A and B are shown apart, each in its own frame.
Chain A
Amino acid sequence: MAEQAPYGRVTQKKPAAAEIHILWITAGLGCDGDSVSITAATQPSVEDVLLGAIPGLPKVHLHNPVLAYENGDDFLKYWYQAEQGKLEPFVLVVEGSIPNEKIKKEGYWAGLGTNPNTGQPITTNEWIDRLTPKALAVVACGTCATYGGIHAMEGNPTGCMGLADYLGWDWKSKAGLPIVNVPGCPVQPDNFMETLLYLLYQVAGHAPMIPLDNQLRPTWLFGKTVHDGCDRAGSYEQGDFATSYGSSKCIVKLGCWGPVVNCNVPKRGWMAGLGGCPNVGGICIGCTMPGFPDKFMPFMDEPPGAKISTAAIGIYGQAIRALRSMTNETVNQEPMWRHRRAELTTGYHPSSY
């Protein structure tokens, strides 16, 4: 008797692409912190994605140097295959700032592999030039790749920048996708894996174009500010500010830029709902933002706007705290009719006992 497919199999959707490769370049000017960070993700985890824990998606082949089995040419062959159009489809992930190789007479700021004709390193920029036209989508992982980040600070010798500065902010892939920026220094683990998962759904044909803001960030992750999600915002509202690090109060006067920074870390925690930044006593230094780091330095100084806002809320806050304290005292006492005396004073007047 022929085996019948289970009835429920009708629910399972085949992805538009059966397999997809992820080519991950870590050879920007970076620290590999974003690659390390994604190994901390659980929603989804790297192995969830690679071992097919989530249905309806293409089989994913990850080529990231930090995790790869292969070495050297064995590893780099995928880069050459992609360049020749033999690794279709692939998503290119870029990590690290993009250097400016045109500002000097010779040499290289960043390279990956060796050009067999010249014997010189192939610059990272050269790889970006070769691969972006062939990629289904391009993702910039971490603030270095999205906006330049730390290595692009004032006085830097390499003239580095973010991927959109290099390719153009209006750049579109051959499939019509803009650059997808997932900033963070490093990127928050689940923010990146969740974005990657969304792109896999999109590539599979199960989700529409990923919604991005003007800085090319996924809107559902970066639409709110640190302040919107910080559990110390209550102390801000009550004009109750820390004057020393280690306090559990709002640290805006100690250097926190939370009110103007697009980031969800205090809301979702750093990992498994634990940790974060101002919600655990670490001033927000704006690491998801294009203006990072220069527009937030010196980090430990009170942001200029905070002087005004904290003064303004001080008067309201003090008054409100006093009123709330009174109400709090009232509601910390039980109603008077809960006692063990031999009389019922609840407001009920019995006639039968």
Chain B
Amino acid sequence: MGSATAELKKEDAKPGQLVEMNWDPITRIVGSLGIFTKIDFGKRKVAECHSTSSIFRGYSIFMKGKDPRDAHFITSRICGICGDNHATCATYAQNMAFGVKPPPIAEWIVNLGEAAEYMFDHNIFQDNLVGVDFCEQMVKDTNPGVWEKATKTAAPHAELHGYKTIAEIMTALNPFSGTFYLEALQMSRMTREMFCLMEGRHVHPSTLYPGGVGTVPTIQLFTDYIVRLMKYVEFMKKVVPLHDDLFDFFYQALPGYEEVGRRRILLGCWGSFNNPDVCDYTYQKMTDWGRGMYVTPGVVVDGQLVTTDLVDINLNIRILLGSSYYDDWQNSQSFVKQDPLGNPVDQRHPWNQSTFPRPQKRDFKGNYTWVMSPRWYDKRTGDYLALDTGGGPIARFWATALAGIVDIGYIKATGHSVKIYLPKTMSKPEVEFEWKIPKWSNAIERDRARTYFQAYAAAAALYFAEQALAELHAGRTKTWNDFKVPEEAIGCGFHEAVRGVLSHHVVIRNHKIANYHPYPPTPWNANPRDSFGTPGPYEDAVQNTPIFEENGPENFKGIDIMRAVRSFDPCLPCGVHMYLGNGKVLETHHSPMFGIPQH
């Protein structure tokens, strides 16, 4: 764990003295991330946290001048686990720019594919990546006292998942040897088969196009999907109570654990799953069809739902620079002065952003990351809010619950919760789960929401399959509508990547891409202090996180910090790095790089 330099023993650390500890790279995420912290071992708290990202690719640069029809194929490659979320979002922006609406069956096919993506990705991330932070091996290495307690604590829902004690659950999560770890890994393959049925191949889909899909709808296609879906539905009936037991145990075994990864409730959700009955992809009607999505878009501030209007959400996105390797564009060309409804568009909006990379030496007192700082301008207060997505599910649930709009029987938003109905399966009866709005926006609740959202996606897929079959049986099997690429156009797509908010903004001039700026969730979560000095979500969530780990500096794994960071489901093909310090008291500030570094 320690590096080559002299190690500071726990006894040597004086109260109040900060010890630098860095982890670079963070593993069990997608992309490269490094976190630099200062730990106060005396007070057992993280005093400071900085995150950096060390990879730049340049999508917004090399997409200029390309054919706008290629945008979804290209942007899929932004991410290797959720690329299809990008491709889908790009087709939403293309549909708007080209003025085309796909036939309903195409929309249901895309929804089924995206639901399969959530079912796959949350499953593998939660139980093969995050789960290792809660496994027997890790808990013994970091909190032997907690392991002891776990061996003596009965799992409240043992009859539903089959593990008699919490310790048995932890053993089952051991990487490559744990029974549940292996079962989840195998399930992740079946869910990708479901995805391939609808979108062709994973992660970069082959059958998505602007105007619809190339997937051929047949009885066989939907039968193959539904048979697998029902196996996943049955699996969920054990997976949800298993995680409730595990996460509730941590609150009991480590009182105060709600402070780990906790930050102010500032959540953004851009909505997912379009309803073809209301969605025509026009900007003019976006407020209405946004509210028609089967995951409601919304901004939640301190527990209050501030808006569910995608036009409002769109206009208030601001990209700030803080400590990143770019030149500013405040005085560069403006591509879009007004949106299609006549509202003014800010120069710091993605439509108007220009990306000028300026690679330089890393300087923690100056610029140290490739990430920029997206913020959401709150008209009520004039604040530039550092919204986070909580890794995706928690923000989706919170906005959907409060909005109280979604009701498809299988899913019902009540205003304070979301009910999820799973019908009878081969060996288990019907079940209704209820995700209730939690007291905190913290690591445990982000993780809990992820498991519940697996069930949400499965329930939504049951509904989408019924709708698709209705179209098939009615003979409405055309899956694509033709279009022409206009000479000049603008478009925007809003979607939920697995980890949260995803927007794609495109400007077309002379039939070619003049400007393209995608904003995936991780820039929102992993960014550095902006020009106003507001820290990014990882930074403030990890700072003030109390240390429960029983190791001192010499063996420190930083497991509470890892749980906090991984609860955001970091996916940064533009990462941040954290390296293990060795007891030197150092001042390093990294701002996660964020921005469109990975584009």
Choose among B30, B209, B360 the residue that contacts A245 (Cβ–Cβ < 8 A). Answer: B209
10 A-B pairs whose Cβ atoms sit less than 8 Å apart in the complex: A30-B573, A47-B176, A69-B138, A75-B25, A108-B359, A110-B54, A157-B61, A186-B80, A245-B214, A274-B197
Would A270 and B30 count as touching, CB distance under 8 A? no
Q: A31-B77, A274-B197 are in contact. Are A109 and B215 (CB under 8 A)?
A: no
Would B209 and A300 count as touching, CB distance under 8 A? yes
Q: B201: CB under 8 A from chain A? A: yes
Choose among B54, B79, B562 the residue that contacts A121 (Cβ–Cβ < 8 A). Answer: B54
Q: How far is the CB of B215 from chain A (nearest CB, A)?
A: 5
Q: B580: CB under 8 A from chain A? A: yes
Q: B416: CB under 8 A from chain A? A: no
Q: A349: CB under 8 A from chain B? A: no
Choose among B28, B64, B211 the residue that contacts A67 (Cβ–Cβ < 8 A). Answer: B28
Residues of B42-93 at the interface with A, using a CB-CB cut-off of 8 Å, are 54-58, 61-62, 64-67, 69-70, 73-74, 77-81, 83
Would A113 and B579 count as touching, CB distance under 8 A? yes
Q: A326: CB under 8 A from chain B? A: no
Chain A 92-105, CB-CB to B under 8 Å as 1, else 0, gives 00000000000010
A253 contacts which chain B residues (CB < 8 A)?
none
Q: B592: CB under 8 A from chain A? A: no
Q: B229: CB under 8 A from chain A? A: no
Q: A36-B203, A40-B192, A282-B206 are in contact. Are A71 and B573 (CB under 8 A)?
A: no
Apart from A274-B196, A282-B206: 11 A-B pairs, beta carbons within 8 A: A33-B81, A65-B27, A71-B25, A72-B24, A74-B580, A121-B54, A150-B74, A155-B61, A274-B193, A276-B196, A283-B206
Residues of B153-211 at the interface with A, using a CB-CB cut-off of 8 Å, are 175-176, 182, 185, 188-189, 192-193, 196-197, 200-207, 209, 211
Choose among A27, A106, A154, A298 the residue that contacts B32 (Cβ–Cβ < 8 A). Answer: A27
Would B83 and A31 count as touching, CB distance under 8 A? yes
Interface size in chain A (residues, C-beta < 8 A)? 82
Looking at the complex, which of B2-10, B337-345, B434-442, B446-454 is the stretch in contact with chain A? B2-10
B81 contacts which chain A residues (CB < 8 A)?
32-33, 36
B143 contacts which chain A residues (CB < 8 A)?
none
Q: A114: CB under 8 A from chain B? A: yes
Would B478 and A276 count as touching, CB distance under 8 A? no
Would B205 and A47 count as touching, CB distance under 8 A? no
Q: B557: CB under 8 A from chain A? A: yes
Q: A47-B182, A251-B214, A280-B207 are in contact. Are A39 and B124 (CB under 8 A)?
A: yes
Q: A179: CB under 8 A from chain B? A: no
Choose among B70, B202, B207, B360 the residue that contacts A106 (Cβ–Cβ < 8 A). Answer: B360
Would A114 and B215 count as touching, CB distance under 8 A? no
Choose among A31, A67, A245 the residue that contacts B213 (Cβ–Cβ < 8 A). Answer: A245
Q: B132: CB under 8 A from chain A? A: yes
B5 contacts which chain A residues (CB < 8 A)?
116
Would B55 and A116 count as touching, CB distance under 8 A? no
For the complex, give the distance between the alpha carbons of A34 and B203 in Å: 9
A318 contacts which chain B residues (CB < 8 A)?
none
A71 contacts which chain B residues (CB < 8 A)?
23, 25-28, 557-558, 562, 578
Q: How far is the CB of B33 from chain A (nearest CB, A)?
A: 10
Question: In chain A, what residue has the closest Cβ to B141?
Answer: A69
A173 contacts which chain B residues (CB < 8 A)?
none
Would B24 and A114 count as touching, CB distance under 8 A? yes
Interface class of chain B by DSSP: loop
A248 contacts which chain B residues (CB < 8 A)?
216
A245 contacts which chain B residues (CB < 8 A)?
209, 211-214, 479-480
Would B23 and A51 count as touching, CB distance under 8 A? no
Would A29 and B206 count as touching, CB distance under 8 A? no
Q: A68-B27, A112-B25, A113-B25 are in contact. Are A185 and B55 (CB under 8 A)?
A: no
Q: B412: CB under 8 A from chain A? A: no
Q: A36-B203, A66-B129, A185-B204 are in contact. Are A72 and B580 (CB under 8 A)?
A: yes
Would A270 and B214 count as touching, CB distance under 8 A? no
Question: In chain A, what residue has the closest Cβ to B32?
Answer: A27
Would A276 and B25 count as touching, CB distance under 8 A? no
Q: A247: CB under 8 A from chain B? A: yes
Q: B111: CB under 8 A from chain A? A: no
Question: In chain A, what residue has the closest Cβ to B103?
Answer: A246
Q: A322: CB under 8 A from chain B? A: no
Residues of A32-47 at the interface with B, using a CB-CB cut-off of 8 Å, are 32-37, 39-40, 42, 46-47
Q: B577: CB under 8 A from chain A? A: yes
B192 contacts which chain A residues (CB < 8 A)?
40, 271
Would B77 and A150 count as touching, CB distance under 8 A? yes
Q: How far is the CB of B184 from chain A (nearest CB, A)?
A: 11
For the complex, give the distance between the alpha carbons of A154 and B188 in Å: 36
Choose among A185, A270, A280 the residue that contacts B215 (Cβ–Cβ < 8 A). Answer: A280
Q: A312: CB under 8 A from chain B? A: no
B214 contacts which chain A residues (CB < 8 A)?
245-246, 251, 280-283
- Size class of the B contact interface (CB-based, 8 Å): 35 or more
Would A74 and B70 count as touching, CB distance under 8 A? no
Question: In chain A, what residue has the closest Cβ to B77?
Answer: A150
Q: B362: CB under 8 A from chain A? A: yes
Would B216 and A281 count as touching, CB distance under 8 A? yes
For the complex, give the distance between the alpha carbons of A92 and B467 in Å: 48
A277 contacts which chain B residues (CB < 8 A)?
200-201, 206
Q: How far is the CB of A300 from chain B (nearest CB, A)?
A: 5
Q: A107: CB under 8 A from chain B? A: yes
Q: A217: CB under 8 A from chain B? A: no
Residues of A10-32 at the interface with B, using a CB-CB cut-off of 8 Å, are 26-27, 29-32
Q: A271-B196, A280-B207 are in contact. Are A73 and B579 (CB under 8 A)?
A: yes
Question: In chain A, what residue has the closest Cβ to B65?
Answer: A155
A247 contacts which chain B residues (CB < 8 A)?
216
Choose among A73, A75, A185 the residue that contacts B2 (Cβ–Cβ < 8 A). Answer: A73
Q: How far is the CB of B373 from chain A (nearest CB, A)?
A: 19
Q: How far is the CB of B566 from chain A (nearest CB, A)?
A: 10
Q: B327: CB under 8 A from chain A? A: no
Would A69 and B70 count as touching, CB distance under 8 A? no
Q: A311: CB under 8 A from chain B? A: no
For the complex, give the distance between the alpha carbons of A74 and B204 in Å: 32
Q: A283-B214, A297-B67 are in contact. Are A109 and B580 (CB under 8 A)?
A: no
Choose among B23, B56, B204, B562 the residue that contacts A33 (Cβ–Cβ < 8 A). Answer: B204
Residues of B469-506 at the interface with A, using a CB-CB cut-off of 8 Å, are 477-480, 482
Would B203 and A186 count as touching, CB distance under 8 A? yes
B4 contacts which chain A residues (CB < 8 A)?
116
Would A26 and B185 count as touching, CB distance under 8 A? no
Choose among A65, A108, A149, A299 the residue that contacts B73 (Cβ–Cβ < 8 A). Answer: A299
Question: In chain A, what residue has the closest Cβ to B217?
Answer: A246
B357 contacts which chain A residues (CB < 8 A)?
157
For the complex, give the distance between the alpha carbons of A299 and B206 in Å: 11
Chain B 27-41, CB-CB to A under 8 Å as 1, else 0, gives 111111000000000
Choose among A33, A37, A155, A251 the residue that contacts B62 (Cβ–Cβ < 8 A). Answer: A155
Would B579 and A72 count as touching, CB distance under 8 A? yes
Q: How far is the CB of B207 from chain A (nearest CB, A)?
A: 4
Q: How far is the CB of A181 from chain B (nearest CB, A)?
A: 18
Which 3 pairs from chain A and chain B are nearest by CB? A282-B206, A107-B359, A33-B80
